[in-house]
Amino acid sequence: MHEPLRVLLVDDEESYLQTAAKVFRRKGFDVESCATGRDVLDLLETRGFQVVVLDLKMPGMSGQEVLRSIKSRRPDVQVVILTGHACADDAAACMTGGAFDFLIKPVDMGLLMDRVRAAYEVWKLSQELRGS
């Protein structure tokens, strides 16, 4: 039996974060949110998130730095990058760094939830392959 889908939303835009979390909760997701990269790393240690939706441009640690930290500590956690400031180099760096997907704001919430569900399926497969 697999754990329920737990997603962590990370964005420094508080209004977007609150709105996205509300929409995800209404659709039955177990959601937490935070506004900084450092908070992500703390929350990953205390809660078992399978998917992180991560803003790329944040003060302090950038999304790419957070992605590297997540993948070094918890390589099975799937990360969906969500940004309003995209360029091809960023997308390539994130995908090479282990991101599951790279989406550009504004994004349709239905599409975002579909990508989170797909990322969760990859997480479940990684757990099955590890035998846990």
Amino acid found at 78: Q
For 120-132, how does the pLDDT look when each residue is reduced to its tens digit (9 = 90+)?
999 999 988 887 5
For 47-106, how does the pLDDT look when each residue is reduced to its tens digit (9 = 90+)?
889 999 999 988 888 899 999 999 999 999 999 999 987 788 999 999 999 999 999 999
| pLDDT exceeds cutoff 70 at 44 | yes
Can you give the pTM of this predicted structure? 0.94
* Alpha-helix runs per DSSP H in 1-132: 14-26, 37-46, 63-73, 88-96, 109-130
User: What pLDDT is stored for residue 121 in this prediction?
Assistant: 96
Helices 14-26 and 109-130: angle between axes, nearest 10 degrees: 70
User: What pLDDT is stored for residue 132 in this prediction?
Assistant: 55
Coil, strand or helix at 9 = strand
| pLDDT exceeds cutoff 50 at 1 | no
User: What pLDDT is stored for residue 2 in this prediction?
Assistant: 56
Closest-CA residue to 61 (of 97, 96, 10): 10
Give the C-alpha separation, 126 to 50, whole Å.
11
